[in-house]
Copies of this chain bind each other. A is one copy, B any other.
Amino acid sequence: MTHQHIALLGFGNVGQAFVRLLQRKKDLLLKDYELTYTITGIATGKHGMAINPRGIDIGQALQLISTGDKLGPLSTQPSIKDPIEFIYNCGADVLFENTPVSYADGQPAVSYLRTALQAGMHAITANKGPVVHAYQELTKLAKENGRKFYFESAVMDGAPIFSLFRHNLPATNLLGFSGILNSTTNLILTRMENGDSFTGAVAYAQSIGLAETDPSGDIDGLDASVKVATLVTVLMGIPIKPADVERTGIRQLTAEDVVQAHKQAQRWKLVCTARREAELVITSVRPELVGTDSPLYGVNGTSSIVKFEMDVLPQLSIVEGNPGPETTAYGLLADFINATHQG
């Protein structure tokens, strides 16, 4: 039987979906994993923070946020306003870090996760920024403290990618991979194929909350390059940065290009690739024509795929369809169970 105190730093769609999922799986966690929990801290970007060692009422917290109110009334330590101070005082065994991504340096998430690990917490994030920028440091720190630094949701939402290589593919040599790792551009290309203009498709992606007001991080391939660098760093053991990835976005593709390709049984996809060459790795993100015999062809809309090439398994692909905040939340839950469950 383990009882875990948990705190959430960042409480947007994913954080909220995660606490709802925790509640829904509460009985199962007890029954199958002898795992119970108390949420002792929630820190948000716009709604303030709350700490309560006896447990925050999640229903009330969700209610306050939905009405645009602050969490302060739920806190036993309302004077705490700073995220680092929050981490030191939240009394958690596990910190879930889900603040907005910084492509450039992974900050301030790296500092948050470092602080949590130094304070003896497991550190779990859905944020790829700190993984690509500080994987080795944070993993080493976690090990030194006997804790886990897990980040299953950083690439392909809740699909098990990192845990797959951690547990299921012993004695393999990962030679390279290719895939579709950015949902926004994949949805845009799918809509263009069905007759939408580039501008119209971008506006649609924004309207459903997938693309940001400034969609360039997706469209210019930056998000995809961070994911490529993350996979190469973690799974191939070669620490590279997003800037090392050769990168072309989808701006130069016209609706006509996309429609024409489809008529010829091909599809334009923003393809991510990495290939080991001796001690180095050659990586790229760029639009490529994909034929009907590729497992990438049928991956449309917001779905994603990564196709791994290993010495012992020539082609192993993982495909995730219809993701949403709940899918990302599941990755956090899987990390939580894997980090805390003994055996």
Chain B residue with the shortest CB-CB distance to A169: B160
Knowing A169-B334, A321-B317, the reply to whether A327 touches B298 (Cβ < 8 A) is no
By size class, the interface of chain A is 35 or more
Binding site for B on A (CB under 8 A): 21, 25, 28-29, 32-33, 158-160, 163-164, 167-172, 265, 292-300, 303, 307, 312-323, 326-327, 330, 333-334, 337-338, 341
Q: In the complex, A295→B319 CA distance in Å?
A: 8
Question: Considering residues A25, A160, A296, which has the most beta carbons from chain B within 10 angstroms of its beta carbon?
Answer: A160
Point out the residues of chain B lying under 8 angstroms from A21, CB to CB: 312
Q: In the complex, A171→B322 CA distance in Å?
A: 19
Q: How many copies does the complex hold?
A: 2
Q: In the complex, A160→B296 CA distance in Å?
A: 20
Interface pairs (21), CB distance under 8 Å: A158-B312, A159-B313, A160-B164, A160-B316, A164-B168, A167-B168, A170-B334, A171-B337, A292-B298, A293-B300, A295-B295, A295-B299, A295-B319, A297-B298, A298-B298, A307-B321, A314-B321, A315-B319, A315-B322, A317-B317, A317-B321
B298 touches A312 (CB 8 A): no
